[in-house]
Amino acid sequence: MDPELQQLATVFQATLSPEKDAIKAAEQQLKAAAQQPGYCIKVLKLTATPIDDAIRQSAAVNFKNVIKYRWVPSEADLYGGAQPLPDAEKAQIKQLLLSVTLGSPHRVAAQLSEALSIICGYDFPAKWPELLPELVSKLATEDLSHIKGVLQVANNVFKRFRGQPSSNNVLAQELDMCQQAFLRPLQETHTRLAGLFPAASAPGAPLEPLRQLLGCMRLSFRIVYSLCSMGLSDATEGELGFWMDGMHTCLTYENPGLEEADPEKESVLDGVKTAVCQTVDLLLEIDEDTFKPYLQRFAASVWGVLMKVSHKPGQDNLAMAAIKFLNTIAKGVFANLFQADGALQQICESVIVPNLRVRPEDEEMFEMNPTEYIRRDAEGGDSDTRRRAAADLVRSLTDRFPAEVSRLFTGYISAALADYAAAPAAAWRSKDCAIYMVTALSVKGRTAAHGATSTTQLVNLLDFYSAQVLPELQSPKLNDNPLLKADAIKFVTTFRSMLPKEACLAAVPCLVNLLGSEYCVVHSYAAICLERLLCLKDPATRANRFTAADLGPHLQALLEKLFAGFKLPDSGENEYLMKAIMRVIVFVGPAIAPVSAVCLQRLAAMLVEVCKNPRNPSFNHYLFESVAALIRHGTAASAAAVTDYEQALFPAFELVLQQDVQEFHPYVFQIFSQLIELRPAPLPQLYLAIFPPLLSPVFWERSGNVPALVRLLQAYLTKAGAEVVAGGHLVAVLGVFQKLLSSKAHDHEGFYIVNAIVESLPLPAYAAYLPSIWTLMFHRLSSSKTPKFCRFFTVFLALFICKHGPAAAAEQLDKVQPGILFMLLGQVWLPTLPGVDGPEEEKLVAVAGARLLTELPGFSAAAPGDRGALWAALRKGVVDKLSGGGSNGGSGQEDEEPDFEEMQGYTAAYAKLANAAKAERPVLGEIPDPKQYVEAALARVGA
């Protein structure tokens, strides 16, 4: 082996070490090596070298990641240090990649195939026209494993067309080119594969060649699916009969020998049938008329498949795809197929009801993998479940045949409840199915904020709640029938806005009690339900439906149970409990004060604990949101309490910074900002000691830190501007500004820093640096001007003028270039003025414009040459801005409480804390009405 490749292999082997230090050192070596020219080529060659497969796979993963971040780096990647790969290296990679992928073991090939897909996303087909001919040429072989590899790559390449609208003309042209180049060779290949099928499927024939053959056929069908995803073209429609015959043959083929021994594993034949069901479902959705000749045959065959599908998890994909095809028929013009005698009853009893019942696998997941169960059942992640597919089908049938389907399901629900009443211990699954049917089938409309907003008439909700749901919630035996308790809680969560307020209030003590269940799903559902009830608003008034007084009697018990929940099984970092804590603090507001000390102590201890090993991003997010909410509302009740919060939280924050817990940096910086903003000046020495390290480049290289650090610098400049200047830190702050200004992703944050300097510091403190500041801005204006940059530059210039006056602004700008202010007004300010938006920004530019018109020496309507015309244009721009469609931000409408429904925790981009939001101070508070100010100023100059 080449010595360089040998050395690289040794480093990749170290990344597989069980020791953390060895892994970290190896990763640092790879990071440094990746900056060297030709690195990707070496790694790609290493994946093709016959060495340990684990090393090759590690190299393939690294190759894929480098391609992901460096093929076409985003602005944020460039800011973090990633550089685009040289064009010559890209060309070499494209030459080698397909051959290496096809010659690699499966796991290595899977990673390389992903890298190839990433490249295709940017370069195919325009910058990689050789790829399709190369794929076509490699199909010409009798080696089934080789054909399968080529089809797998082609399948990944063509996936980009799935789910795209036919109105995307550029993509439609690319798809047409792919069809012209690949459909005929694919059809020829499939014809050859079909010719092998009789011998391969003959009794007594070895099964492995048949598995390979079926795997190739499945990929062929998936490619057809991709190539038809944006609609049928002449090319695909002309060959539809050929593909329908091949697909129908596979759909009706049976071979018990191909079944998998492991019930969790999908057999290769089931995989092919799933691909067929998905493809015919797509064709029916996009063109009912064209598919019509094949509909009867496929509907009967898919029905036959469903009748034979077992409840084994390995057949879930097939069952869901087949049910979805029936659902598409039910929603379309061919729904009359279900009107045959007894068809509806048969489909309900044979397909829908059995798939709505809880299965042993679901019960096992409920106990052994509660996180996945909640994701599927409560968070809408059940799109890949049989229950969801069956529920969707019955909804479609209800829309078409409401009376018949409602009659049938009312009967099924009554029968299931009767079974349960006769033998509660043995027939609890029947009640589970009944509650699921009502919950899933009663909802007609829903929103994230309100749950169900309209229902069908399947049952009387309040009667069903009182008779079947409330008894489960009120049961004193917390850990009996946990699935039924989870169903009952989910019912309340789903119908929270449809149930009377009194009914929901009656459930609150039950839900608080159920927070103590030892089952993770039950206490998590109780937390979810309480959290959703507390943020429920009246649709008409937008006021909270429940008040702090409603919660008052339960507040202490609720918080005790929520905090105790973290000691229950599987809930050490339960994000639902933490989100509920955050919601309670926000909901009661300053009334949290009596219990804030206990909450603070618990939250601070949890912060220290999660710093050791941050695992759950959503839990971490809500933990910091809870801390921020407690600071926000606790200090509102007692401003002096800010010292208590600092003493409790600083040990944890110190741990985050000392141990470089990168995920938490943006959070800690935001809470530092929040605490500084709450403090009166001067700041304690502790804060001043923290300031210099914040300017370290290592923090600013991480894109996710930038918004939080910028806000923190603003807070320091506002509360300790004199100390920043006296400590000699202003140069370093301006260095940060310079770096941010050079980035299109972060230039606006650079402006936030200089805005804070202008607002907080006296002019002499930074006047010496102003020429450099202006020069940097002018360089961006001339080299890479964007609308966003122009808007922020205009607002900055307006702020400077409002703060120090037009004469001072002209004087400072003249040091860079005499008379440049007038050039900026004509070339930047006036074109940008209509795009300035927001009440504060509009106020600044209006007042600054008025001051320019009335106070700038040598600038008036009567000024000679172009300046008189510029004055008139500026006057018109200011008047138009004030009288035109400005922002309605000054309407006095209060901001709503932030909704945390969609919070997804930490991301590499930025993890913003809604509860630590900056309290914006109004600019130019001495000018309440900018329109009045401008009119008065112009009247003076007119007089």
Give Cα separations from 114 to 107, 135, 218, 302, 329 (angstroms).
11, 16, 19, 33, 35
Whether 649 contacts 604, CB under 8 Å: yes
**51 burial type by CB count under 10 A (0-12 exposed, 13-18 middle, 19+ buried):** middle
* 787 phi and psi angles, rounded to 5 deg: -55, -40
Structure tokens at 910: 């930025």
* Assigned domain for 93 exists: yes
| Residues of the chain falling short of pLDDT 50 | 885-908
Q: Is there a domain that residue 20 lies in?
A: yes
Label each residue of 269-323 as H, E or C: HHHHHHHHHHHHHHHHHHCHHHHHHHHHHHHHHHHHHHHHCCCCHHHHHHHHHHH
Question: 59 near 8, Cβ under 8 Å?
Answer: yes
Separation between Cα atoms, residue 76 and residue 740, nearest integer Å: 11
Q: What percentage of the chain's residues is helix, strand, coil (to nearest 5)?
A: 75, 0, 25
Contact between residue 184 and residue 171 where contact means Cβ atoms under 8 Å apart: no
Residue 41 belongs to what domain range? Answer: 1-123
Let me know: does 213 contact 193? Beta carbons within 8 Å: yes
pLDDT at 63: 95
Q: Which residue has the tokens 């073209």?
A: 233
As for how many domains the chain has, the answer is 1
C-alpha to C-alpha distance for 156 and 223, rounded to whole angstroms: 9
Residue 164 phi/psi, 5-degree rounding, is -95, 145
198's tokens: 């009789």
Place of tokens 């690699």: 104
pLDDT digits (tens, 9 = 90+) for 710-760: 999 999 999 999 999 999 999 999 999 999 999 888 999 999 999 999 999
| In contact, 711 and 703? CB cutoff 8 Å | no
Would 822 be classed as within a structural domain?
A: no
Query: Computed over its alpha carbons, how large is the radius of gyration of the chain?
Result: 33
Could you give the angle at the alpha carbon of 773 between the alpha carbons of 771 and 774, nearest 5°? 65
Cα 383 from Cα 900, distance rounded (Å): 23
The H-or-E segment that residue 705 falls in is: none
Task: Read off the DSSP letter of residue 825.
Answer: I
How many other CB atoms are found less than 10 A from the CB of residue 33? Answer: 16
Residue 543's pLDDT is what?
87
User: Tokens in use for 379?
Assistant: 């968070």
pLDDT at residue number 638: 80
**Strand, helix or coil at 894?**
coil
Q: Tokens for 511?
A: 């839900």
Distance (Å, whole) CA 209 – CA 205 = 9
Q: Could you tell me the two tokens for 350?
A: 């044979």
Cα–Cα distance for residue pair 64/44, rounded to 1 Å = 10
Distance CA 306, CA 285 (A): 20
444 belongs to a structural domain: no
546: three-class secondary structure by DSSP: coil
- pTM of the entire predicted model: 0.83
Distance from C-alpha of 642 to C-alpha of 934, rounded to nearest angstrom: 41
Tell me if 231 is assigned to some domain: no
The answer to whether 94 and 46 have CB atoms below 8 angstroms apart is no
Is residue 110 domain-resident?
A: yes
Res 598: pLDDT? 92
Using the structure block, give the residue that is written with the tokens 């090759």: 56
DSSP output for 160-190: GGTT--TT-HHHHHHHHHHHHHHHHHHHHHH
pLDDT of residue 906: 38
219 phi, psi to nearest 5 deg: -65, -35
Has residue 423 been placed in a domain?
no
User: Which pLDDT belongs to residue 370?
Assistant: 94
Closest to 717 in 3D by CA, of 732, 697, 705, 701: 732
Q: In this structure, are residues 192 and 246 in contact, taking their beta carbons and an 8 Å threshold? A: no
CA dihedral 139, 145, 151, 153 (to 10 degrees): -110
On whether residue 90 sits in a domain, the answer given is yes
